[in-house]
């Protein structure tokens, strides 16, 4: 277990030496011979099924100039009354990011956690949890794998901060209160692309990926892009293994008035002996000390398998000069199987605890779509950009489980006891049939939205007004008996946004927008009939400034969001709300030629209000720090052509692992470094990358609270080395 990191570090050091030697040799050759500078390779993605296309990259290439504001379409940052950051594929590649969570490590308003169940990614956005189930793909919810999404499946990661019920509709699983994440598909660029990437890292991990794209026809109207990837091996955590295979095809066609695109993809992700979250046992009031960063207390027989197939179609038609119609549809089919044994610590002083076997299977069928009209017109001196849209989402969930809760196996956080696979006892809790999981829920969301952005004062003032009528219908079916508990409610969610442009470089904005999630259903009791509570409505108010200095941009936002608390145990109605007040500062672009910056800082003041309990009243929200900050710097070394070095500092303040704020989790700081060298070999452009995350091998609790009041502590990854070599043919 202890010799894996030195080997990986030695490999990284060796690669860095090779890169530096090659770079120095190239630099010497440049001085002594007339060598032509390597051409800059620019790949401009085509327009997909959208006249707007991808928002152009900002100076430095790490983020875009704007992003998608839901049904309002892609907007330049200075023209939208919302805070949006779109991280580019260039950043994804250069930071060797493998998942959505690894991309979002660059965002100061987001922190990555782990959702309920097995090893699902979850994200705290402005302090509110967003599960990976609620991620959108090209504007449609829940089409990509719900637990882990490999970066080979998407072109960009867009973060829309703040509530978004009007912009995107209510998310299927109740997220989207603090923000939404939208992934953009890969499309064939204007230039032919054939890229082979091989890589490796700690634990014997190896990977290979192929990215091929072509445009066809005399006018290059038809595009085809194929991505395939395979990963296999261990990780920086002892005895942990991961195997992933994926294949995806993206197609598009465009004419003068019509644009079409489609995707079909497959991902098969298998985890073995992945390190689990740490749950704190009942009555525990102290936090256990951290084990070694690379330690693994997972049982050897545990696994988590997820297989997904998805597809989308999108079309756009310019009906007239100022009128465009669009339609989109997507589907996903999912199969999951897990055998888990999460660790519950019962003694914080010595790390004693136990596990119990929990097996489950799950199948999910998703169908979702939208249609809409978008147009422009003028009434006197006022310009209008209006939009009308209808959307529909349906999910059918099948699940089964066996949980042998009382049949525990003793273990220890620091000196684990590895047990053989325990047989289920007669007292195990069961629901449905693992081999053929039964229907547990049918979720249907439908909505209609109207919006208008008014242009006033010769375009200096933009005012957005709109509303979305949303119907939420959820039929839940009890395990085994299939007893039905329905939920059928509706709500209209308004929006107000305003942007005032002081100049072409500076704008101020304000917005009021709501978030929406399903309310609780109260079972019949005490002579009272079953009751459905109205949807929970969160309310956000935000003020901000945006400044574009040409090659470097800045953003500032002050916001407040009030979110009703869900139904508490033993209560007959929701009790109180969570108030989040915050301030965000962001920077991106180039401070000078060859010196890129990407980072920010977020301050959060969170409070539980009117909870009905003295233990929680006025306390901070579970798992949310007061301060979180990132600063990424990349330096293109002018003296050595093709060489770039980067570093990223991440800080997360202390949090609480319980709503009563009795268990404090300390703050942490992490430093990551990387190197990239671009060179040519016999006419082939090569890019070598090396990365070391958590350079100091710091031990830290990365997150707490992926599931309320269960601890759900996640240990941060140890020092992790990754290497890759890409060839563009």
Query: Residue 37 has what DSSP assignment?
Result: P
Number of neighbours of residue 638 by Cβ within 10 angstroms: 10
Looking at residue 719, what is its pLDDT?
97
Helix (H) or strand (E) holding 194: strand 193-201
Looking at residue 117, what is its pLDDT?
56
CA-nearest of 276, 291, 411, 265 to 340 is 276
Looking at residue 119, what is its pLDDT?
81
| Residues 698, 668 contacting (CB under 8 angstroms) | yes
pTM: 0.92
| Residues 707, 116 contacting (CB under 8 angstroms) | yes
E strands along 481-626, which residues? 484-501, 506-517, 521-522, 531-532, 536-548, 552-564, 577-592, 595-609
Tokens of 446: 């439908």
Q: What are phi and psi of 599, to 5 degrees?
A: 180, -170
Looking at residue 711, what is its pLDDT?
72
pLDDT along the chain (729 residues), means of 10: 42 44 44 40 52 89 95 94 97 96 96 77 92 93 93 96 95 91 94 96 95 94 97 96 97 94 97 93 91 96 97 96 96 96 95 97 97 96 97 98 97 96 96 97 98 97 98 96 94 98 97 92 70 89 97 98 74 78 98 96 96 91 96 97 98 94 96 97 96 97 80 92 97
Q: What are phi and psi of 285, to 5 degrees?
A: -120, 10
Tokens of 453: 């952005």
Question: Per residue in 681-720, is it b (16+ CB within 10 Å) or e — as a string?
Answer: eeeebbbbbbbbbbeebebbbbbbbbbeebbbbbbbbbbb
Looking at residue 26, what is its pLDDT?
44
Looking at residue 10, what is its pLDDT?
45
CATH class of 4-521+531-728: mainly beta
> How many angstroms separate the Cα of 597 from the Cα of each of 22, 106, 159, 693?
26, 11, 18, 18
DSSP string, 511-542: EEEEEEE---EEPPBTTBPPEEPPPEEEEEEE
Domain-by-domain residue ranges, the chain?
Answer: 4-521+531-728
> What pairs with residue 521 in β-bridges?
532
Number of H helices, E strands in the chain: 4, 41
Looking at residue 493, what is its pLDDT?
97
Tokens of 443: 């979720």
């Amino acid at each position: 277990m202890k010799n894996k990191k030195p080997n990986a570090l030695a490999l990284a050091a060796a690669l860095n030496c090779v890169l530096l030697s090659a770079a120095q040799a190239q630099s010497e050759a440049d001085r002594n011979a007339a060598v032509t500078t390597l051409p800059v390779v620019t790949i401009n993605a085509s327009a997909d099924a959208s006249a707007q296309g991808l928002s152009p990259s900002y100076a430095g290439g790490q983020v875009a100039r704007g992003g998608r504001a839901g049904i309002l379409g892609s907007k330049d940052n200075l023209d939208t009354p919302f805070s949006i950051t779109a991280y580019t594929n260039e950043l994804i590649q250069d930071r060797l990011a493998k998942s959505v969570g690894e991309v979002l490590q660059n965002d100061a308003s987001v922190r990555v956690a782990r959702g309920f169940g097995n090893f699902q990614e979850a994200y705290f956005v402005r302090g509110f949890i967003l599960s990976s189930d609620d991620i959108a793909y090209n504007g449609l919810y829940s089409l990509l794998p719900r637990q882990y999404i490999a970066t080979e499946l998407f072109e960009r990661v867009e973060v829309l901060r703040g509530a978004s019920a009007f912009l995107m509709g209510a998310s299927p699983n109740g997220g989207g209160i603090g923000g939404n994440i939208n992934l953009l598909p890969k499309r064939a660029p204007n230039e032919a692309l054939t890229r082979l990437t091989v890589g490796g890292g700690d634990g014997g991990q190896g990977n290979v990926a192929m990215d091929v794209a072509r445009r066809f026809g005399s006018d290059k109207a038809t595009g085809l892009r194929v991505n395939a990837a395979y990963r296999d091996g261990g990780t920086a955590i002892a005895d942990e293994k991961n195997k992933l295979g994926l294949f995806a095809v993206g197609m598009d066609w465009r004419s003068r008035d019509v644009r079409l695109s489609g995707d079909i993809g497959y991902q098969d992700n298998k985890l073995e002996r992945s390190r689990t979250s740490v749950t704190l046992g009942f009555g525990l009031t102290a936090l256990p000390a951290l084990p070694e960063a690379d330690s693994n207390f997972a049982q050897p027989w545990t696994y988590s398998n997820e297989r997904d197939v998805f597809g989308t179609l999108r079309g756009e038609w310019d009906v007239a000069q100022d009128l465009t119609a669009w339609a989109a549809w997507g589907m996903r089919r999912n199969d999951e199987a897990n055998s888990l044994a999460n660790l519950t610590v019962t003694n914080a002083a010595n790390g004693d605890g136990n596990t119990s076997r929990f097996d489950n299977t799950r199948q999910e069928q998703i169908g979702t779509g939208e249609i809409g009209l978008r147009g422009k017109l003028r009434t006197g001196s006022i310009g209008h950009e209006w939009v009308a849209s209808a959307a529909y989402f349906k999910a059918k969930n099948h699940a089964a489980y066996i949980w042998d809760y009382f049949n525990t196996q003793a273990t220890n956080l620091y000196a684990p006891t590895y047990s053989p696979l325990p047989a289920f006892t007669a007292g195990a809790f069961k629901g449905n049939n693992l081999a053929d999981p039964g229907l547990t829920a049918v979720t249907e969301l439908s909505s209609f939205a109207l919006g208008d952005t008014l242009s006033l004062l010769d375009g200096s003032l933009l005012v957005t007004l709109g509303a979305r009528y949303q119907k939420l219908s959820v039929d839940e079916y009890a395990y085994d008996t299939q007893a039905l508990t329905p939920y059928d409610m509706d709500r209209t969610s308004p929006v107000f946004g305003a942007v005032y442009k002081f100049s072409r470089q500076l704008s101020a904005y304000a917005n009021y927008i709501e978030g929406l999630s399903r309310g609780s259903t109260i079972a019949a009791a005490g002579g009272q009939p079953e009751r459905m509570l109205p949807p929970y409505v969160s309310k956000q108010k935000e003020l901000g400034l945006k400044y574009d200095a040409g090659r470097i941009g800045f953003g500032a936002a002050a916001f407040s969001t009030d979110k009703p608390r869900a139904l508490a145990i033993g209560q007959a109605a929701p009790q109180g709300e969570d108030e989040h007040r915050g301030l965000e500062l962001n920077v991106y672009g180039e401070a000078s030629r060859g010196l890129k910056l990407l980072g920010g800082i977020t301050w959060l003041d969170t409070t539980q209000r009117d909870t009905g309990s003295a233990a929680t009243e006025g306390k901070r929200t579970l798992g949310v720090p007061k301060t979180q900050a990132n600063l990424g710097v990349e330096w293109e070394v002018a003296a050595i052509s093709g060489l770039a070095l980067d570093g990223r500092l991440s800080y997360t303040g202390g949090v609480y692992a319980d709503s009563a704020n009795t268990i404090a989790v300390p703050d942490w700081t992490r430093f990551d470094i990387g190197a990239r060298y671009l060179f040519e070999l016999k006419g082939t452009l090569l890019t070598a990358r090396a990365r070391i995350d958590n350079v100091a091998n710091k031990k830290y609790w990365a997150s707490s609270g992926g599931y309320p009041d269960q601890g759900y502590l996640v240990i941060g990854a140890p020092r992790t080395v990754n290497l890759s070599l890409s060839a563009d043919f």
